[in-house]
Amino acid sequence: MVANQRRTDYVALLVGVGVVWVLVFLIRPKARKRLVVGFLICIVLGGGYVIAFAHSSGTLGEPARGILSVFSPSTSDTRDASSNLYRVFEDNDLKYTVKQYPLGLGFGKPFLQPEPLTSIFPGILAVDPYYNYVPHNTIYWVWVDLGPLGYLALWLLIGSIIVRGCVIVRQLRDGYLQVVAIYVVAVTFMEVVVAFADYQLFFYRNVIYLGLLCGMLVKL
């Protein structure tokens, strides 16, 4: 995460930890007091860290800067600001394409660009030759290419993994197997968070990994 400077990953990690906390809170009544105390301590320490290192230029402050820049990039950081603006333009283009092709555009076709992405990043074609075929937001990508039925199928799959995973967590009695099931649910949430911002569903290794986890969940 630090080496690749992917800001969304920090947010996804926080979401994943939050999912784990909630599930453990529900299945371990005796541990709830310690969980609440630990949560409050983490909030205080985490908040203090973000405040202290939000404007730090060192490696130690990278997570703090990454989290803040997702929501409010500093004016001095033109890279993060332009990256956020690029994604806004891209999402608007995808929504426009859906309106023009309500049943789905189909794979292998470039999405429409009433707001050209080259106006934000003139050299994008040299960096990413597929920029107008595969957007950062791969959740919208499925919607654009497969239409409402494909979009519904995507959320039905994700929702089934999460709901079934939570049910399995509550049914299991072996602590280790519960941890495995909790991990699968948390990773699924993280997959969705990153898929909204950073090509997640386009990289086959991520989808294969999630598929393997789903196989483990079925086995549980």
pLDDT at res. 120: 83
Q: Token pair of 186, please? A: 């948390």
Q: Find all residues with CB under 8 Å of 41, minimum gap 6, and list them.
A: none
- How far is it, in rounded angstroms, from Cα 142 to Cα 201? 9
More confident residue, 81 or 130: 130
Q: Residues 134-159: pLDDT tens digits?
A: 999 999 999 999 999 999 999 999 99
Please check the confidence at residue 70 and state whether its pLDDT lies above 70.
Answer: no
> Mind listing the pLDDT tens digit for each residue in 56-69?
766 666 777 666 76
- Please give the model's pTM, rounded to 2 decimal places: 0.85
Question: Does residue 220 contact residue 180 with C-beta atoms inside 8 Å?
Answer: yes
Q: Which residues of 21-53 are buried (b: 16+ CB within 10 A; e: fewer)?
A: bebbeebeeeeeeeeeeeeeeeeeeeeeeeeeb
Q: Per-residue pLDDT averaged across 80-89, rounded?
A: 82
Mean pLDDT of 183-206: 92
**Integer Cα distance of 18 and 33 in angstroms:** 16
**C-alpha dist (Å) from residue 12 to 17, 20, 30:** 9, 12, 28
- The pLDDT score that the predictor gives to residue 28 is 92
Is 220 in contact with 181 (CB distance < 8 Å)?
yes
Q: What is the pLDDT of residue 169?
A: 95
Which band of pLDDT confidence, cut at 50, 70 and 90, is reported for residue 75? very low
Contacts of 121 (CB under 8 A, 6+ apart): 82, 86, 127
Asked whether the beta carbons of 54 and 61 are under 8 A apart, the reply is: yes
